[in-house]
Amino acid sequence: MNGINLGTFPIDTNSLWASVSNREAKELIAKEIVSRAKDGQVIGFGSGTTSMVCALEFGRKVKEGLSISAVVTSFELEWLCIKLGIDVLDLESTEIDWCFDGADEVDPQNNLLKGRGGAMHRERQVFTKAKQRLIVADNSKDVSVLGEKFPAPIEIKPENAIESITELQQFGFDSVGIRTGQGKDGPVITESGNIIADVIFREGFNADVAEKIIEIPGVFDTGLFVGYEFERLS
């Protein structure tokens, strides 16, 4: 690794706890998720603090002899898995036995709003490819319509930003705004090199609206996960 000490770069596992809310509950969920793993499986790791807690638990089990590989949805999970000694495989060249991830909202039809952490495209790739899916979402994530509590993230190619956002603004949504970064000027950049528009639509996103959004030239992906089957843990 070109002289890089993975013991200190780039994730300090001890400092992760500072950003983890409901730590005890997430540790219990992590133990349940990890208990499902079997030697030889390839597991899709979602994004966010719950997934980080799960990665730490997987790391402990790997040190005890569990033999699994991970396909990850974000850079920070990849770095953390490498540090923990978990084998990370390329998404494009492997099958995924099962995956776990969180959700920001769940509607009555089990459609999901995801991607507030900005990794929605790789989350969708893993979610689509996995043979089985686990979603960690307590009752606070239940909504009557998607978009009730949070904006939907829309991932847009930077070269199409003006045209794509102009077209989104013509849909009659409550608001459309580019997500800006902290610690840098300008927009947040995703793992795929794109920008994110956060769209508020209190009337609610559905399959028809999601399909119309993804058809806009320049739209790369969205945080609207419609029509997927999964097992829910809460």
Rounded to whole angstroms, how far apart are CA atoms 227 and 111? 6
User: Is the distance from CB of 119 to CB of 73 less than 8 angstroms?
Assistant: yes
Considering only CA atoms, which of 137, 132, 116 is closest in space to residue 44? 132
Considering only CA atoms, which of 106, 195, 71, 180 is closest in space to residue 55? 71
List CB contacts of 70: < 8 A, sequence separation 6 or more: 42, 43, 44, 45, 55, 58, 77, 81, 86, 87, 88, 89
119 lies in the same domain as 158 = no
Q: What is the pLDDT of residues 19-47, one digit of tens each?
A: 666 777 888 999 999 999 999 999 999 98
Residues carrying an active site annotation: 123
209 lies in the same domain as 97 = no
Q: Which pLDDT score, from 0 to 100, does residue 200 have? A: 97
In a domain, residue 2? The reply is: no
Q: Which pLDDT score, from 0 to 100, does residue 2 have? A: 42
Rounded to whole angstroms, how far apart are CA atoms 217 and 18? 40
Q: Which pLDDT score, from 0 to 100, does residue 157 have? A: 97
User: Is the distance from CB of 89 to CB of 43 less than 8 angstroms?
Assistant: no
Q: Which pLDDT score, from 0 to 100, does residue 185 have? A: 84
31 lies in the same domain as 81 = yes
Which residues does the chain have with pLDDT short of 50?
Answer: 1-4
Q: Which pLDDT score, from 0 to 100, does residue 3 have? A: 45
In a domain, residue 135? The reply is: yes
Q: Which pLDDT score, from 0 to 100, does residue 7 have? A: 54
Q: Which pLDDT score, from 0 to 100, does residue 5 have? A: 53
In a domain, residue 61? The reply is: yes
CA 196 to chain centroid, in Å, comes to 14
Q: What is the pLDDT of residues 68-83, one digit of tens each?
A: 999 999 988 998 999 8
The DSSP code for 91 is G
For residue 173, give its domain range: 152-222
